[in-house]
Structure formats: structure tokens, C-alpha cells
A and B are shown apart, each in its own frame.
Chain A
């Protein structure tokens, strides 16, 4: 039976490093994805994700379980992202994944998707990333937390330290800007199967 986060946290607090490493394994990809989408650079996102787990490990004795472990991790990661953006004093740059080869990706996708479809999909991904880059940090972070991590409005409000209504406003404004950007780039409709809720 798979141990829950709470069980692994309890064992980690008793000094079991392996349990903490199980938590790392479970959460490293979501945390990396969050950092990547917020700051937009692969290498820096890796650094942020790694630092998140280091800080979490060091701060574990102070974790009282008031929030979910994942929310606590998200908070640490978002603080690091905020620090990164402040330190670098530059707009987050959203690049296409580094080292992506269209031919290799096509091979990975199998025979169902043609290279043309794949190139089109990558182009759309790039346009979406550009649109997200246009948003203020708070709106982008709210959208990322909602769309890709499935947090509730209240959880996002807790993480961002703002009222629930502000979160909804940020989401509405962010989605509206994104929608206009996508429309300006000729992207108006998508298959329902791509919709992530």
C-alpha cells in the first residue's frame, strides 16, 4: 500500500531520509512544472525545484501540518520563484523546451501524429507560452496553480495571500488577456479532449 504524504512526512520528521526522498520523487515533477511555467527557464526551474526540496527538508521540523504538504511545498516554490524574478529583474521568458527535436518527438508520438501536426502543436504551445508571458506574475501564477495543479480558489488565495475574490479576478483577467492573444494569433477553437479542468 502506498504511503500518504502525511505518513511520509511523519516518518521524515523522525529522521527517515528515505521517506522524504519518496516525497521528493512524488512531487519533483509538479514542482518543476510549476517553476517552469512561472519563471519560464528550464535550468532555473530545475534550480528552484531542487532548492524547494532542500528548504523543505531543512524546515521540516517546523512543519506542523496546518496545511497539506503539497500546499506547503507550493508555497516554498512560489516564494523562490518570486525571489528569482525579483533578483533577475527581468520578465519571465518562456522558451520552447530546450533540445526538442521535431523528428525525435514525432518518433515518440508514434505514427498517429504526423510531423506537420506536431509542428503545429509546438507552434500553438509557443503561442500559449507567449500569451502567458504577457500576464502579470500574480495572474500567471493563479492560472498555473488552477489549470495545471488543480488547486481550489481558496488554496490559491492562501498561497498568494489574497482574498478569494482577488483570485477569481486574477483568473478572469488573465484568461481574458490570454484569449485575446490566442485570437490575435489565429487560435480560436480547440478540441474538447485537450481541455484540462
Chain B
């Protein structure tokens, strides 16, 4: 069965244009083009458009992409320095918060009392005179508690300090340069060098453009000067002629 090609079969026309048709279809399209001037003209015009596409060339740029293997470091250590508090365990942070609150309370001498008038909160060391009775017993009990608190707080503080110190040491060890970092630095240096080279080239091109512009402007100026000189000469000549005619007229004896 022979293949028949018609004018409105644009898909086959495109396949023909790109040479992606079988032998029979090609023969059918060829036969049609011999008979149909409109389709023949269209194929030529589309071929011209394709030829025009050949003129569109992307800039010839240096790419030089390269994959550089990163180390197993977490991204935070690569992209930005880690904050020390990010590496302190949560329990230590909570303990530190309690320590701060307790210290603040101790310094401020916060006292909460309840009585017939309701709750009252007072701070500071200027407390009102307490009743004489039972005061020593209370003071002794408070003193023991304060001592216990103080000891607990001191040990907690020491624990926190040692924890923070060890964490910082770990961080210092992690932040030390690895071969991958060296590779990254080398890559960055290469990029900077390439960038500098590009800038130098651009500067050179700009300088060439500038020189060319200056030369063109100089030539244009010289031409203008030459034209001006010619005009000036012509004016001088005309003025001379006028003066001569005036002299002639003035020296001619009147009748």
C-alpha cells in the first residue's frame, strides 16, 4: 500500500525536514513537493529558518566545573562556625539555667510569705525585724540549707565548666583543617584566580575599546577641524572679494 502525503500533514513534514522518515514516506513527500509549489516553498523556508539557527552561537566561556569531595563534616562546620552553646547537651543547658535562677534568687534574697493578709513576696537584704521568739532555730535551719545549696551549686558549676571545656576542645579538634578543606581552599583559590583572569581580560578589552573610541573620536575631530578650516578659508576668500569690490567702488571716480 502506497503512502499518500497531503498538504496539511505538518507532522510528517517536520519528520521529513529532519530526515526522520522511512524510505516510502520520503518518496511520497518528494512526489508531493514536485507537484505542490506551496509545500515546496514551505520546506525551503523552514530549512532556511533551520540554517539561521546555525548562526546562534553561545559565548565561548571557560567553565571548568569540578566536583570536589567534601568530608563527612556536618554542614554547619563547613558553612559557619558552630556556636559553643549549640554543642552543649540539653541537660547541661537546663542545669545552667537553674543555676542562674538560683544564684539570682540567692543574691536578691527572694522571700515568699503567706499570712492572714495573703501572699507577699519581698527581695533584698533589708528585711523587717522578725519576732524574737523562735528566730534562732529558724536561722539555724536556714543556714544549713544555704550551706547545702551553696555546695550543690559549686559542684554543679564545676561540672558545667568541665563539660563546656571538653566540648570546646572537641570543637577545636573538629574545626581543624582536613584534606577536604584543603581541597576546598584550593578550589576557591582557583576560582579567585579564574575570576581575576576574567577581570583582567575584561579590563584589557575595555581598554582596547576605549583606545578605539579615542582614535575614532580623534579622527572625527580632525575631520571636523579640516572641514572648519575649509569653511574658514572660504569665508576669508568671500570677505576678501567683498573688500576688493568695496575698494574698487570707493576708488572709482564719481561721474
A195/B63 contact (C-beta < 8 A), A103-B212, A172-B13 known: no
Segment at the interface with A among B51-59, B148-156, B157-165, B239-247: B51-59
Chain A CB within 8 A of B238 CB: no
Q: How far is the CA of A46 from the CA of B209 in the complex (A)?
A: 26
What are the 4 tightest A-B residue pairs by CB atom distance, in nearest-first order? A97-B59, A190-B51, A179-B49, A168-B11
Which B residues form the contact surface with A (CB < 8 A)?
Answer: 10-11, 13-15, 17-20, 45-61, 63-69, 201-202, 205, 208-209, 212
Q: How far is the CA of A169 from the CA of B17 in the complex (A)?
A: 13
Q: How far is the CA of A53 from the CA of B52 in the complex (A)?
A: 31
From A95, which residue of chain B is reached at the shortest CB distance?
Answer: B59
Minimal beta-carbon separation of A21 from chain B (angstroms) = 5
Q: How far is the CA of A29 from the CA of B57 in the complex (A)?
A: 12
Cross-chain contact of A128 among B18, B55, B68, B212 (Cβ < 8 A): B55
Write out the residue numbers on chain A whose beta carbons fall within 8 Å of the beta carbon of B46. 172, 175-176, 179
Minimal beta-carbon separation of B70 from chain A (angstroms) = 10
Write out the residue numbers on chain A whose beta carbons fall within 8 Å of the beta carbon of B52. 124, 127-128, 131, 178, 182, 187, 190
A191 touches B50 (CB 8 A): no
Write out the residue numbers on chain A whose beta carbons fall within 8 Å of the beta carbon of B20. 152-153
Segment at the interface with B among A30-38, A63-71, A85-93: A30-38
Cross-chain contact of A196 among B45, B48, B50 (Cβ < 8 A): B50
Chain A interface size, as a band, is 35 or more
Write out the residue numbers on chain B whose beta carbons fall within 8 Å of the beta carbon of A113. none
B47 touches A195 (CB 8 A): yes
Write out the residue numbers on chain A whose beta carbons fall within 8 Å of the beta carbon of B209. 101
From A148, which residue of chain B is reached at the shortest CB distance?
Answer: B53
Write out the residue numbers on chain B whose beta carbons fall within 8 Å of the beta carbon of A148. 53
From A167, which residue of chain B is reached at the shortest CB distance?
Answer: B14
Most B CB atoms within 10 A — which of A49, A57, A168?
Answer: A168
B56 touches A17 (CB 8 A): no
Q: How far is the CA of A175 from the CA of B51 in the complex (A)?
A: 11
Cross-chain contact of A182 among B14, B49, B67 (Cβ < 8 A): B49
Chain B CB within 8 A of A116 CB: no
Minimal beta-carbon separation of A80 from chain B (angstroms) = 14
Write out the residue numbers on chain A whose beta carbons fall within 8 Å of the beta carbon of B14. 168, 171-172, 175
Query: Which A residues, 160 to 188, have Cβ-Cβ distances below 8 Å to chain B?
Result: 165, 168-169, 171-172, 175-176, 178-179, 182-183, 187-188
B18 touches A146 (CB 8 A): yes
A99 touches B56 (CB 8 A): no
A128 touches B48 (CB 8 A): no
From A40, which residue of chain B is reached at the shortest CB distance?
Answer: B58
Chain B CB within 8 A of A14 CB: no
Q: How far is the CA of A131 from the CA of B50 in the complex (A)?
A: 12
Write out the residue numbers on chain A whose beta carbons fall within 8 Å of the beta carbon of B45. 179, 183
B56 touches A125 (CB 8 A): yes
From A190, which residue of chain B is reached at the shortest CB distance?
Answer: B51
Chain B CB within 8 A of A121 CB: yes
Q: How far is the CA of A21 from the CA of B57 in the complex (A)?
A: 25
Chain B CB within 8 A of A8 CB: no
From A27, which residue of chain B is reached at the shortest CB distance?
Answer: B65
Minimal beta-carbon separation of B66 from chain A (angstroms) = 5
